[in-house]
């Protein structure tokens, strides 16, 4: 059978889609190219915003238009949180598989699943992590290692706990086996990921925490560098910072979501820290790791966010050592606590706040990049453009850089470490000449 897999959303979904593709290939199916016909299409959806769900519906309709005979299997967070709504809005025969039963897609016999079926159970009761594993990652440059799934925090605006269930961790041996497979496949960078990685280990019988698993990974797999995905402010412990400062293969790059600089808004969101605590953590991080990239997320237009609250967010961002910023306008998600709150910020005002905050974020990013002008940067080559004579890649501290080759014979291969002298900043990227 010719199978197409369409993926939306986060790194966890991407990892799971790749594991599904690998299982399909093992079972003798072929992955459809852009011009091929499609017998079965699996759409791995996201539900984090209303827009994500809309985009998934659009993608399904597009596939149905182009391949009227194709069977559609929809999985992921949208499938889990609103299977009946999804089925109704598509109005044709589709099969819906929730995150709680995603392992069905690893079963070679999945193609015999009936259309018009809904395989969605109560994910809040799920106790174990679905055993996805990858043997040959798509590219060798960067691979995701999912060590944890689910979230037990229930922030007021977030649908994720209902889409992914409670926090569940991958046992240590399985984490190490996956890392070993990546190392053997020649992967140079492993992104340690999950839905809420700071919860890692809390549900396991062995007393193990995030810092323990990071310690083991960075000491055992010295040929790979490890990048950590998002971590809540209270979970960025001194131990994790000390480990990152000590281990060369622990990328000095942290993503610590702030969401709001107003204590009132944070409290209403159900976030478990104050702006002052966020600031204390990122300042400690900056002191110990002067060159580290520190990213954050902010939400604007949350119900009840007044102009003064928004201003506080701007002030916290301006005064913090963060180096890049993602801004999200609040989007109401049915089923969450915030969905019952009165929306007080108009769409237009949300957009204005988002624009203003993004501009501050861009300034912070450029100021961070500027510090490295004139210095030598090491990047892991991701894209090599032989015609233009350039190599694009990312440094351990998350600088996006383009190295110009002085002589064509210098051309490196993707997945090689390349050194360049940073000369200029264009389009939020560092440009420079390759020296080795
Ligand atoms: S910590 Fe809060 S925002 Fe993050 S996934 Fe969990 S519930 Fe959602």
Average pLDDT, the chain: 93
CA contacts within 13 A on the Cβ side of 80: 25
pLDDT of 30 reads 92
pLDDT of 34 reads 83
Ligand 1 neighbourhood includes 172 CB (under 6 angstroms):
no
Ligand 1 neighbourhood includes 96 CB (under 6 angstroms):
no
What percent of the chain has a predicted confidence (pLDDT) above 70?
97
pLDDT of 363 reads 96
For residue 326, what is the DSSP state? E
Beta strand ranges found along 386-436 (DSSP E): 390-395, 400-404, 417-426, 429-434
84-102 per-position pLDDT tens digit: 999 999 878 889 999 999 9
33-52 per-position pLDDT tens digit: 888 899 999 999 999 888 89
136-167 per-position pLDDT tens digit: 777 678 899 999 999 999 999 999 999 999 99
Neighbour tally for 407: CB within 10 Å: 8
pLDDT of 112 reads 56
133-142 per-position pLDDT tens digit: 888 777 678 8
User: CA-CA distances (angstroms) from residue 294 to 193, 258, 397?
Assistant: 17, 11, 9
As a whole number of angstroms, the distance between CA 135 and CA 183 comes to 10
Ligand 1 neighbourhood includes 155 CB (under 6 angstroms):
yes
Ligand 1 neighbourhood includes 270 CB (under 6 angstroms):
no
The CA dihedral of 167, 172, 178, 179, to the nearest 10 degrees, is: 110
Ligand 1 neighbourhood includes 196 CB (under 6 angstroms):
yes
Beta strand ranges found along 46-182 (DSSP E): 71-76, 94-97, 118-119, 142-146, 148-149, 168-169
Residue 113 has pLDDT above 70, yes or no: no
Q: Please give the number of the atom of ligand 1 that sits closest to the Cα of 164.
A: 5
Residue 77 has pLDDT above 80, yes or no: yes
220-229 per-position pLDDT tens digit: 999 999 999 9
Contact 260, 274 (CB under 8 A): no
Distance between Cα 263 and ligand 1 center (Å)? 17
Ligand 1 neighbourhood includes 158 CB (under 6 angstroms):
yes
Distance between Cα 257 and ligand 1 center (Å)? 10
Neighbour tally for 366: CB within 10 Å: 12
Contact 101, 69 (CB under 8 A): no
Sorted by where each starts, the structural domains of the chain and their CATH numbers stand as: 2-121 (3.40.50.12160), 142-367 (3.80.30.20), 376-434 (2.40.50)
Distance between Cα 151 and ligand 1 center (Å)? 6
Ligand 1 neighbourhood includes 160 CB (under 6 angstroms):
yes
Contact 52, 8 (CB under 8 A): yes
What percent of the chain has a predicted confidence (pLDDT) above 90?
80
For residue 302, what is the DSSP state? -
Ligand 1 neighbourhood includes 271 CB (under 6 angstroms):
no
Ligand 1 neighbourhood includes 187 CB (under 6 angstroms):
no
Ligand 1 neighbourhood includes 164 CB (under 6 angstroms):
no
pLDDT of 33 reads 86
Residue 395 has pLDDT above 80, yes or no: yes
Q: Please give the number of the atom of ligand 1 that sits closest to the Cα of 195.
A: 5
Residue 331 has pLDDT above 70, yes or no: yes
Distance between Cα 19 and ligand 1 center (Å)? 24
Look at the pTM and tell me if it is higher than 0.85. Answer: yes
Distance between Cα 335 and ligand 1 center (Å)? 14
pLDDT band at 436 (very low <50, low <70, confident <90, very high): confident
Rg (CA), the chain: 22
Q: Please give the number of the atom of ligand 1 that sits closest to the Cα of 271.
A: 2
Q: In degrees, to the nearest 5, what angle opens at C-alpha 369 toward C-alphas 363 and 373? A: 130
Query: Which one, of 133, 41, 128, lies nearest residue 90 by Cα?
Result: 41
Ligand 1 neighbourhood includes 77 CB (under 6 angstroms):
no
170-185 per-position pLDDT tens digit: 999 999 999 999 999 9
Distance between Cα 68 and ligand 1 center (Å)? 38
For residue 224, what is the DSSP state? S
pLDDT of 50 reads 86
Q: Please give the number of the atom of ligand 1 that sits closest to the Cα of 161.
A: 7
Q: What are phi and psi of 40, to 5 degrees?
A: -135, 135
Ligand 1 neighbourhood includes 153 CB (under 6 angstroms):
yes
pLDDT band at 108 (very low <50, low <70, confident <90, very high): low
Distance between Cα 232 and ligand 1 center (Å)? 9
As a whole number of angstroms, the distance between CA 133 and CA 52 comes to 26
Q: Give the strands of the sheet with 142-146, arranged side by side.
A: 142-146, 189-193, 225-228
Residue from 124, 148, 160 whose mutation best tests the ligand 1 pocket (most atoms within 8 A of CB): 160
Q: What element of type H or E holds 385?
A: strand 376-385
For residue 145, what is the DSSP state? E
- Residues 397-423: what's their mean pLDDT? 87
Burial of 16 (0-12, 13-18, 19+ CB in 10 A): buried
pLDDT of 91 reads 78
Of 146-155, 207-216, 287-296, 398-407, the least confident:
398-407
Contact 421, 376 (CB under 8 A): yes
pLDDT band at 292 (very low <50, low <70, confident <90, very high): very high
Q: Please give the number of the atom of ligand 1 that sits closest to the Cα of 159.
A: 8
- Residues 224-252: what's their mean pLDDT? 97
Query: Which one, of 208, 192, 325, lies nearest residue 256 by Cα?
Result: 325
pLDDT of 410 reads 66
Distance between Cα 38 and ligand 1 center (Å)? 36
12-35 per-position pLDDT tens digit: 999 999 999 999 998 899 999 888
As a whole number of angstroms, the distance between CA 339 and CA 353 comes to 21
Which residue has the CA at smallest separation from atom 4 of ligand 1? 196
Distance between Cα 208 and ligand 1 center (Å)? 22
pLDDT band at 409 (very low <50, low <70, confident <90, very high): low
């Amino acid at each position: 059978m010719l199978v197409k897999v369409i993926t939306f959303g986060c790194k966890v979904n991407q990892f799971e889609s790749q594991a599904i593709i690998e299982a399909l290939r093992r079972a003798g199916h072929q992955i459809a190219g852009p011009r091929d016909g499609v017998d079965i299409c699996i759409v791995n959806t996201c539900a984090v915003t209303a827009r994500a769900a809309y985009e998934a519906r659009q993608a399904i309709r597009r596939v149905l238009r182009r391949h009227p005979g194709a069977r559609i299997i929809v999985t992921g967070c949208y499938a889990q949180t609103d299977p009946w709504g999804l089925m109704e809005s598509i109005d044709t025969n589709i099969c819906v598989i929730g995150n709680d039963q995603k392992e069905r897609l690893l079963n070679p016999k999945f193609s015999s699943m009936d259309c018009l079926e809904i395989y969605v159970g109560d994910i809040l009761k799920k106790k174990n992590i679905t055993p996805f594993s990858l043997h040959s990652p798509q590219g060798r440059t960067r691979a995701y290692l999912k060590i944890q799934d689910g979230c037990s925090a229930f922030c007021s605006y977030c649908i994720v706990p209902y889409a992914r269930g409670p926090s569940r961790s991958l046992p240590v041996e399985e984490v190490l086996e996956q890392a070993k497979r990546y190392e053997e496949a020649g992967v140079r960078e492993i992104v340690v990921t999950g839905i809420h990685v700071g919860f890692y280990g809390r549900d396991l019988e062995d007393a193990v925490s995030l810092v323990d698993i990071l310690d083991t990974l960075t000491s055992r797999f010295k040929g790979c560098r490890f990048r950590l995905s998002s971590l809540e402010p209270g979970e960025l412990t001194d131990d994790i910072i000390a480990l990152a400062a000590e281990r060369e293969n622990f990328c000095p790059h942290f993503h610590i979501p702030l969401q709001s600089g107003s204590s009132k808004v944070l409290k209403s969101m159900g976030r478990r820290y104050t702006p002052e605590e966020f600031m204390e953590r990122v300042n400690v991080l900056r002191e110990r790791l002067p060159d580290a990239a520190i990213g954050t997320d902010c939400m604007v237009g949350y119900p009840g966010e007044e102009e003064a609250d928004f201003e506080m967010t701007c002030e916290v961002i301006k005064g913090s050592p963060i180096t890049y910023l993602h801004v999200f306008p609040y989007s109401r998600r049915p089923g969450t606590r915030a969905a019952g709150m009165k929306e007080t910020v108009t769409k237009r005002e949300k957009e204005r706040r988002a624009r203003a905050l993004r501009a501050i974020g861009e300034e912070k990013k450029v100021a961070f990049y500027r510090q490295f002008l004139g210095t030598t940067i090491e990047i892991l080559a991701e894209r090599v453009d032989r015609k233009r004579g350039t190599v694009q890649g990312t440094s351990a501290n998350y600088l996006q850089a383009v190295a110009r080759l002085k002589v064509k014979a210098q051309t490196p291969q993707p997945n090689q470490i390349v050194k360049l002298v940073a000369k200029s900043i264009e389009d939020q990227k560092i440009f420079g000449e390759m020296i080795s």
